[in-house]
Amino acid sequence: MGKFILRRFLLLLLTMVLVSMAVFLITESSPGNVARNVLGSFVTPEQEQSFLVQMGLDKPAYQRYVYWLVGSDWHASSKTGFPLRRITSEEGFEEWWALRDDGSLVRWKLSGDDLISVVKQPDGTTSEHVDNDAWSRDDSGVSRFWGIDTRNHAVLWEKGSDLKVWTFIMGTGWMKTSGGPTEYLPLKKGFIRGDPGVSLRTGRPVSKSLFPRLRNSLVLAGIAFTIVMPLALVLGLLAGVKEGSFKDRFLSIGGMTFSVIPEFATGIFLILIMSVWLGLVPGATVFGEKAPWQRLDMLILPVLTLTLIELGYILRITRASMVEVMRAPYIRTAFLKGLPYWRIIVRHAVRNALMAPITVIMLHVNWLMGGIVIVEVVFGYPGLGKYLLDSALFKDINALQAGAMILVLLAVGTQFVADIVYTFLNPRIRYT
């Protein structure tokens, strides 16, 4: 049993690595212009190129993949020669600073040919002074300096450079400056360490937006899962015990009816009946920062929609599995031996009949998290599915890649849990 679980775990790790590469390549190769999506359709080629360089999108694909997965701060630290530290300012913004030997935090900016160091004081204030001694000459006689700028980049400045840089400032527009850095390295810790980068659509760290959306979807999917799975299993087992009976036909036809109706149609129908006509529950889910437990009544219609859709499918799978088990020779032998009816059902039939539904249930955990995008859009629910849809339409690659990997983690994790459950349901796995 232990070898089986270890083998499955190593296989899942390999799957995660391969899928992460596929997610990155698919996202990177998707159609659309990132710069024009962010900055508008009237940007000039110079502005577009400046934006791509500042966002690190000019780097080779393999390098961007490594930065996205494990971060870029380690590479920036080797470039600058300083350990780097990320802190949260009093305004709630995340800032990257270089850590000097004396324990002080410092960043730099360029003013003409002067290099200005910005030092953070213990009380949170900053002081500035000229730091031209930090320049170093290379073999060609050009003075250069790798440092951390005030926009969370590790940058390479060249003294006397007349390079023109376009910077987009919210509320001001495009600002053109000279003497800009010749190389940019956006700073982030990487997906593995919980920092997939900054959203190109909102300008906020992806983790700050992603995890509240993930929490909302987990609440919605968890409530629906808790309700529908036991109910569907019980009804499916009851239908499969008496194949061809009225109870079997009624449950099968009812389950198939709900499962074939599209999610948006079920959701709109429930809104029309329960919200517009009867006025029993809200027809939309508009949440604040402390959502969703402040307004649990807003969860009723989304949960009911998911329950109706999932109930029929799981019910029919369980019913088909139970029918197959009831026809097995060992079940007939148990009846011929005179064992009590419900003892045969509970101790022999149910355990084997649950093998197929367990697989389907674990697969549908992934669907509940990633496939509820339609339900979230219909009800305006601020969940992960809606977040991914908005990111895909905008081609917000950092948010899209992080959200897709969260879904992959859930898929791989649920399959691992299913493998463990199999070892308890099937003795042949435990003892091989």
pLDDT digits (tens, 9 = 90+) for 277-324: 887 887 776 655 555 666 777 888 888 888 888 787 788 888 888 888
pLDDT at 400 over 80: yes
In this prediction, residues 210-230 reach a mean pLDDT of: 84
How far is the C-alpha of 17 from the C-alpha of 412, rounded, in Å?
A: 11
Are 154 and 146 within 8 A, CB to CB? yes
Q: Residue 189 has what pLDDT?
A: 92
Instruction: Name every residue whose Cβ is closer than 8 Å to that of residue 234 and which is 6 or more positions away in sequence.
Output: none
In this prediction, residues 142-152 reach a mean pLDDT of: 88
- Going by pLDDT thresholds of 50, 70 and 90, the confidence category of residue 427 is low
User: Which residues in 13-170 belong to E strands, given as ranges?
Assistant: 84-88, 94-99, 105-111, 114-120, 126-130, 136-137, 143-148, 153-158, 164-169
Given its phi and psi angles, is residue 173 left (phi above 0), alpha (psi -120 to 50 degrees) or beta? Answer: left
pLDDT digits (tens, 9 = 90+) for 252-290: 888 778 777 877 888 888 888 888 888 788 777 665 555
pLDDT digits (tens, 9 = 90+) for 357-399: 776 776 667 666 655 788 888 888 888 888 888 888 878 888 8
- Going by pLDDT thresholds of 50, 70 and 90, the confidence category of residue 341 is confident
Report which DSSP code applies to 195.
Answer: B
Q: Residue 238 has what pLDDT?
A: 83
- Going by pLDDT thresholds of 50, 70 and 90, the confidence category of residue 349 is confident
Q: Residue 76 has what pLDDT?
A: 93
Are 314 and 364 within 8 A, CB to CB? yes
- Measured N-to-C along each axis, helices 397-425 and 206-241 cross at an angle, to the nearest 10 degrees, of 30
In this prediction, residues 323-352 reach a mean pLDDT of: 80
Higher confidence at residue 20 or residue 97? Answer: 97
How far is the C-alpha of 5 from the C-alpha of 7, rounded, in Å?
A: 5
What mean pLDDT value characterizes the chain?
A: 80
pLDDT > 90 fraction of the chain, expressed in percent and rounded: 9
Range of lowest pLDDT (23-37, 61-75, 337-351): 23-37
Q: Residue 78 has what pLDDT?
A: 93
- Going by pLDDT thresholds of 50, 70 and 90, the confidence category of residue 170 is very low
Cα–Cα separations (whole angstroms), residue 91 to 87, 95, 121, 327: 11, 11, 16, 67
- Going by pLDDT thresholds of 50, 70 and 90, the confidence category of residue 160 is low
pTM for the predicted model, two decimal places? 0.75
In this prediction, residues 178-201 reach a mean pLDDT of: 83
Q: Residue 83 has what pLDDT?
A: 93
Nearest CA among 233, 251, 356, 225 for reference residue 303: 225
- Going by pLDDT thresholds of 50, 70 and 90, the confidence category of residue 432 is low
Q: Residue 175 has what pLDDT?
A: 63
- Going by pLDDT thresholds of 50, 70 and 90, the confidence category of residue 98 is very high
pLDDT at 171 over 50: no
Q: Residue 371 has what pLDDT?
A: 59
How far is the C-alpha of 380 from the C-alpha of 383, rounded, in Å?
A: 9
- Reported as type and span, the H/E element at residue 370 is helix 355-370
In this prediction, residues 119-123 reach a mean pLDDT of: 83
Are 206 and 398 within 8 A, CB to CB? yes
Cis peptide upstream of residue 382 (ω within 30 degrees of 0):
no
Contacts 24+ apart (CB under 8 A), 233-238: 233/314, 233/318, 233/354, 233/357, 235/311, 235/315, 235/318, 236/314, 236/315, 236/316, 236/317, 236/318, 236/319, 236/321, 236/322, 236/357, 237/318, 237/319, 237/322, 237/350, 237/353
How far is the C-alpha of 402 from the C-alpha of 216, rounded, in Å?
A: 16
Domains of the chain, CATH where assigned: 42-70+72-187 (no CATH), 206-430 (1.10.3720.10)
Instruction: Name every residue whose Cβ is closer than 8 Å to that of residue 140 and which is 6 or more positions away in sequence.
Output: none
pLDDT at 141 over 80: no
Query: What is the dihedral angle through the alpha carbons of 69, 73, 74, 79, rounded to the nearest 10 degrees?
Result: 130
Are 325 and 352 within 8 A, CB to CB? yes
